[in-house]
Chain A
Amino acid sequence: MSAHATTEHAYIPGEIAKPNTGWIWKTFWVLVIITAVEFAIAFAMTSPGLRTFRNSIFIVLTILKAFFIVGEFMHLKHETKSLIWTILIPTALLVWLVVALVTEGSSIGETLSHMFS
């Protein structure tokens, strides 16, 4: 499908094909259902003890949603392997950045709270 844009073809009126939108609506429902599940969890799991577990579920579901948006809507799943890796490898570095700085933040917070005790 990615080849469509590069293929030059003269426009001939009246040769409009039937829409093929099944996969679009399927992706739509996947996104809606994941969002609904996120809301259900936000209100069902309110216990402070379950916070870390709850947040892990949120992060997994968010990445799943990202997979469907980038893979299907942005069509990356159907591009060449080299393009997929070109996008994914730099993005994966962000995960490291987040983990590193969140840890750093916790450490700063802890240091500050113990400073005067």
Chain B
Amino acid sequence: MVADVGYGALVITFLLCFYGIGAAIYGVKKKEQSWVESARHAMLLSLPLLTISALSIINLLVTDQFQVAYVASVTNRSMPTYLRVTALWGGQEGSLILWVWLLSAFASAVMLRDWKRDREFLPWVIIVCLVTLGFFLILIIFVENPFAKMWITETGERVTSIFQPGGSEPFIPVDGNGLNPLLRHPGMIYHPPMLYLGFVSFVIPFAFAIASLVTGRTDDRWIRITRRWTLWAWLFLAIGLILGARWAYDVLGWGGYWGWDAVEIAALMPWLAATPFLHSVMIQEKRGMFKHWNMFLIILTYDLMIFGTFLTRSGVLSSVHAFAQSAIGPLFFAFIVLTLGTSLWLLSRRWQDLKSETRITSLLSRESMFLINNWLFMGILVVSFWGVIFPLLTEALGIVGDTFPSLSHIFTGQKVTVGPIYYERATGPLLAGLLFLMGVAPLSAWRASTARTLGRAIWKPFAVSLVVLVIIIGGGIRHPGALLAFWLCAFVTVVTLYEFWRGMAARRRRSGENYGLALWRLAARNRRRYGGYIIHLGVVLMALGIIGIEIFQTETQGTIAIGKQMSLGEYSFTFDKLDEFDTRDGRNVARAEISVFKNGEFVETLAPRRDFYYESGQRMTIPGLRSTIEDDFYVLLVSWEPISAENATFKAFHNPLVNWLWFGAIIFILGTFVAAWPEREKQYMPIKTDQSIATAST
């Protein structure tokens, strides 16, 4: 019954999408606002309908309705209620429901804004949102239906279908499979919704961009409307990525947080397109340039977001052959081709209207720095995209070898692995380049910057950063890559703090405010600029953590008896004891206790453990972790002697500086809050007519 209500709500929403698209188009054609209004109401109505649908699933999940295949696949009787609720995004079908619900919620929020100044955008924003929503509803209703139930036919066959097949009996399993234990970690409970929040919110700026292309209102209005929105989307995506990284570090048991896995990259790619977008829209706002490019970037972000969902949801990553087996892959593929093609076609139609109003006048100006930033980000994006796609290509191109045997030695159809080495080697220099730009760009001026003016601005921070470098060398670090990276971090930090200082001192001298108040007011008056700087500082701190793990991580593995010791660098630990026991929630836990010593002195007792989930047969390795601002000591229990428990194998990692990654992430998030917090809409002074502002603002 509940399942039927939920399913019915989905179907009605789907029909509503058709109606809304039709009404909006008709309204535009006939110039009748009432039809557009009706389309707007259709968009608004989708939210309560999808809410009913989502609540229906949650109801099924918490009430043990195991006849529903999705419920049986992600819950069981022993799971606590909060986990059953979050099981909404524990599997494919449910997470698609979350996806459409979020889209509907965001689109509805946009519908409620004041459209007085942007009437012409409204129908097109509705159309883009409804087309996207409709596509995902097709996936849910026809391919991945979370409300489908299980039935036993007369021949004893078990089928999954929304309607009862003739002559069949309901099949109700005694218990469900339960949520994958790896997904029961808090990081995994918050990570998918955050990621989806980020993914889905990018639909909105894209919709405005398309509206601007279609209507021919190609000034930067669409950017001004969606600027904050884009920042929030970008933030949620970043939080999703960071939570995912933390989850990997805590649960996956390989001593790191980012493995350049295709699923991770799928989520990273929209972020890699959105970040240069956030930078380069500033050039358009200030100087009226690169309108084509900004359009292209937001289109790219949108389609990479769809592509990311496609990669993780179609099964194409495990094998391209899975792509053909389910309809979901081809559907996604068709949708990406369609949206990308249409968007680029619209862009080409408006090419003339989007000509730059001004030109770049200096190679060292802020706008050219932003362009170089865009270029480096695109470089990282190409590396990532190609690394993900290439194994799929080699596998898919096997068909050429099969068709033309003479070419089969080239097109073997063998899948290859593109591991972290490839990505690290290729992205390392690009990331270093980005750090360098973060140091130089804030000191360059809009429009006119010469080597001399830039040099004069930069020499002081540069000199201070060299002093820091000397101190680091004095500290005994000799690795050239690490020295370069640390120097870059120091340089960016000094420049950024110097920028704060300059602004603060200037205010203070003028107004006589004390330093704290001057800083506060300065940041409050120009939040995007100073929020951006705080984000930069967060990135530098995160870079410290990355450098620590990439360059200085060490590891060792060994089997030791109780009472014996193992060591790694300054650290050593003794194996004190090992207990094996069953828990009430169906786990077998093997928990070792070790005493950790640093330079021979006892510091902490850790308990690395291994959980074995009886029902799913899955294992989870939870590290024993000693975490300080200096380094992490991360110990895994790899294996042990059963029964006697006298010997055990441990793997220990020494991860210097890694905590700065998480700390930096918090600063990063705070900075984005500063930059994105809503304020009343205001008209900025156009820079073109008053150059003085150009030199003093971002």
Please determine whether chains A and B interact with each other in the same assembly. no
Residues of A near any B CB (own CB < 8 A):
none
